[in-house]
Chains A and B, each alone.
Chain A
Amino acid sequence: MTSILDVKNLTLDFGGLRAIDHLNLTVNKGEIAALIGPNGAGKTSFFNCITGIYKPTAGEIFLTCRNGEKERINGLKPNLVTRKGMARTFQNIRLFSSMTVLENVMIGCHSITHAGILGAVFKDAATRKEEKYIVDKSYSILKTLELERFVNELAVNLPYGAQRLLEIARAMATDPQLLLLDEPAAGMNPTETRRLDDMILKIRDEKGIAILLIEHDMKLVMRISETIHVVDYGKKIGEGTPEEIRNHPVVIKAYLGEDIHA
């Protein structure tokens, strides 16, 4: 199986604090992988490192780009990382609240369009074609995530669960090869979480996008992921299928603490 993301010995220091410690992680093409660990384990810092928001102290990050070539992406600015084919969402909702649902998704298409100021003023054939393409594309993404009925609503007026899905839709508009989801189910009720499961599976199956998610909802993680990576204090302490992780002694220790009778 070919890998899409290869992270080797990634280390991140904040002053004297080592947030990520020689972390190795691989995500394969079309795989759904989860990154779990106790609070403060360095999961979100890991996302920030690979998407270019933080500069890692040491280590290598390779991404297989759209053209199939493996490229080293450490130190690239976030917008360039996105152009290479990696998109993400955040733990908290960061929608452009005063824009409509459709506009939010259209913004995501920014990197794959070219029309400049002149095109926008004169509306030549190429610009109109591109505009139509973006609208169609955004609409079809919204349809995949069953958000099409909100298309002209302001993002801020959507129900919470729909806002979270819209974040995923916007990330998908950048045409990613790999989608990073940071706690997509946070704050959702069980029904919404169930729907999210289906959506994540659908995105992978229909679009072939690999997914790496951080999640605390173990039911969701166990249900949909093929590989689970467990981190604690910035170190990887386990990796395997849901079944293996469930019975992994080190993981149980990190999550539940040591047995006092032992």
Chain B
Amino acid sequence: MNPEYLTALILGGLTRGSIYALIALGYTMVYGIIQLINFAHGEIYMIGAFTGLIVSTVLTMHGMPGFGVVFFAAAAAIIYACCYGYTLEKIAYKPLRHAPRLSVLISAIGMSLFFQNYVLLAQTSNFLPFPGLIPDFEFWKPYSHVMSATELVIIVTTAIVMVLLTLLIKFTRIGKAMRATSQDKIMASLLGINVNQIISITFIVGSATAAIGGLLIASHTGQINAYMGFLVGIKAFVAAVLGGIGSIPGAVLGAFVLGLSESVFTGYVSSDYEDVFAFLILVLILIFRPSGILGRDQTQKV
């Protein structure tokens, strides 16, 4: 066994895991608060990447320097994705707040298909090249044979987002209101919390992390298309289930477990069966530990 090869696989796994984590957070937060699997979440990530591409291309054409392009492309992608997430909830989920859960789930799948086809129509069905937004940092040059600068940025950004999100949820007034809403909506509203507003904020935060993920992965792989959100979305969902859906640390843990094991599997077994492997994990988890690694057992009082 070659240690350098293994290190490369592990670093690749961490990068993968980071992206899954950024998206899985959106799934798990939305599930935690309204018990809905938001299948259109992967599309929000795709829309974030497309927005980033459009804005960065326009800005580069006008001769803006690299860092400005990154900043404005990221800001535009995040804001645009947040608008989509907010509107999505208001249009497709809020009217179904008291409907059976299956109706909302179907609405979510419908929105996912709608967004994919909307981007197909408005943009293109081809793969588009995505500019490498992240520069090769001077200080990182000596280590770039181990891990590229892009991978470093992905891991660091993910870590920062995780810390900020934990602070938001643990220590802020909004975070407390989110936790209260996820535990008991009626009680939360009786304590003066505007539940609809908290749900909107949850969608906005989830969309922002998805957009960040979209931008990072697009500049890592160098190409995007309208279907990019589908598979990554499903895999992030696997990660969220793996960690215990509804739990935020669970989503992060699940994402890294999935990313690392996928990476090691592709490295030592076969890269053709990469996706099969991810879903095999999902099946095994659903059979042996349906509540996930950190999920609480769903016992119901009768």
Contact = CB atoms under 8 A, between A and B. Distances in A.
B171 interface: yes
B193 A107 contact: yes
A238 to B, nearest CB: 29
A106 B175 CA distance: 12
Nearest to B196: A77
Contact of B176 (A51, A103, A112): A103
B167 A83 contact: no
A111 B191 contact: yes
Contacts of A90: 187
Nearest to B193: A110
Interface in B149-180: 164, 167-168, 171-177, 179-180
- Majority secondary structure, B binding face: helix
A115 B192 contact: no
Nearest to B190: A78
Interface stretch (A15-23, A91-99, A208-216, A252-260): A91-99
A111 B174 contact: no
A79 B190 contact: yes
B167 A111 contact: no
B221 interface: no
Interface in A49-73: 51, 53
Contact of A106 (B176, B183, B186, B195): B176
Contacts of B175: 120
A218 interface: no
A79 B189 CA distance: 5
A215 B172 CA distance: 37
Nearest to B201: A117
Contacts of B186: 53, 78, 94
Nearest to A134: B173
Contacts of B189: 77-79, 82
A149 B82 CA distance: 43
Interface residues of B, number: 24
B168 A108 contact: no
A90 B190 CA distance: 11
B123 interface: no
A110 B183 contact: no
Most buried by B among A82, A96, A108: A96
Contacts of B173: 110, 113, 115-116, 120
A50 to B, nearest CB: 12
B194 interface: yes
A87 interface: yes
A43 interface: no
Given A96-B180, A96-B183, A88 B190 contact: yes
Interface of B: 164, 167-168, 171-177, 179-180, 183-184, 186-195
Interface of A: 51, 53, 77-79, 82-83, 87-88, 90, 94, 96-99, 103, 106-108, 110-113, 115-117, 120-121, 170-171, 173-174
Closest 9 pairs between A and B when the two form their complex, measured CB to CB: A111-B192, A120-B172, A78-B189, A82-B192, A79-B189, A94-B187, A96-B183, A78-B190, A107-B180
Given A94-B187, A117-B172, 7 more contacts: A77-B189, A96-B183, A99-B179, A108-B192, A110-B173, A111-B191, A121-B167
